[in-house]
Chain A
Amino acid sequence: MKNQLKVLRAMRDWSQQDLAERLGVSRQSVNAIETGKYDPSLPLAFKIAEVFEQTIEEIFQRD
C-alpha cells in the first residue's frame, strides 16, 4: 500500500518522532508505515487521518 505520510509530514515540518508522539506510537512504527513495510490497523489509520485532518483514502492508496 502506498501512502502520503512523508509528504504530509514534510508539509508540517514534523519529524518522524513528532508524528509518533502525536499518534502515541513509536518512531519505528511511523518509519515502518511510511516506508510501506507495515500496513497500519484500521484504528491507527483513522488516527493518522485525524492527525492530518484528511480521509484515510487521501493518505493511503492501493499499489
Chain B
Amino acid sequence: MRVTGESKPQGRSQGFWIGLFCANIGAIVAWRVTDAINSPTGTVLLALTMLLLIPIVKAGERSGCNSPAMRIYNRRVLIASFGYVLGLGTAISLWRNYDLARPAIFAISMLPVLPTFGMIWAMARYLIEEEDEYLRYRTTMAALVGLGGVLAIGIFWGFLEMFELVPHIWSWWVLPVWALGLAIAQLWMKVRAE
C-alpha cells in the first residue's frame, strides 16, 4: 500500500535512504562549518532531513527483517528523533534571542535532553520486549561495542584535551558516538551472519 503519490522512492532499499540521510547530514554540517548557511537555516534543513527517517523505517518494515519489537523500537526512536530536533531548534532559538533567567535556561536545555532520554528508554524497552533471543543477543553485543567505542574515544580525547592538544567537546556527543558504534556493529554482525 502506497503512502504517498510518489512512485519512485517507494521501492528504494533501506540502504538508499540511510545513505541519503547521511549525505544530507554531512552537507548541512559542511555548510554550517563553512558559514554557507546560518544557524536557523541549518536547524530547518536538519528538521527536514529528519523526515528521511520515515522512509528509512518504512523500508526496514517492508524488507520483513524486523521483529515486532524492532518495529516498535523504530517508531519510538522516530518520534524521539523528531522531538529532539524540534526541542533543540526551539531551545537554541530561545537562548539566542531572549535574555533568559537561569531556571528558564535549565528548562529549555531539557527540551533536547528529554527526547534523548526517550531514545535510551526505547532501547531499554526493546531489549526487554524482544522475544527473539538471537536478535536480542545481536543488539546487546552491538550496544557493548558502541559502549567500548565511547569509552575508548572519550578517554583518548579527554587526555588530549587535558594536555591542551585538542579543543573541548560537549559531553552529549557520547550518545551519537555510541549510536554510531552500535550501528556499525549491527551492520557488521548482519553482514557476517548472512
Whether B137 lies near A28 (C-beta < 8 A) is no
Indicate with 1 or 0, residue by residue over B179-194, a CB within 8 angstroms of chain A CB atoms: 0000000000010111
| Contact segment of A3-11, A36-44, A53-61 | A36-44
| Smallest beta-carbon distance A14→chain B, Å | 18
Total interface residues in chain B, CB < 8 Å: 12
Total interface residues in chain A, CB < 8 Å: 14
Indicate with 1 or 0, residue by residue over B113-136, a CB within 8 angstroms of chain A CB atoms: 000000000000000000111110
Indicate with 1 or 0, residue by residue over A16-27, a CB within 8 angstroms of chain B CB atoms: 000000001110
Q: Is A51 at the interface (CB under 8 A from chain B)?
A: no
Q: Is A1 at the interface (CB under 8 A from chain B)?
A: no
Residue of B nearest to A44 (CB): B133
Q: Is B67 at the interface (CB under 8 A from chain A)?
A: yes
Contact residues of A: prevailing secondary structure: loop
Cβ contacts under 8 Å, A28 to chain B: 65, 134-135, 190, 193
Residue of A nearest to B190 (CB): A28
Can you spell out 25 A-B residue pairs with CB atoms less than 8 angstroms apart? Answer: A25-B132, A25-B133, A25-B134, A26-B67, A26-B132, A26-B134, A26-B135, A28-B135, A28-B190, A28-B193, A29-B132, A29-B133, A29-B134, A29-B135, A31-B193, A31-B194, A32-B134, A33-B134, A35-B193, A37-B192, A38-B137, A40-B133, A40-B134, A41-B133, A44-B133
- Chain A residues within 8 Å of B, Cβ to Cβ: 24-26, 28-29, 31-33, 35, 37-38, 40-41, 44
- Chain B residues within 8 Å of A, Cβ to Cβ: 65, 67, 131-135, 137, 190, 192-194
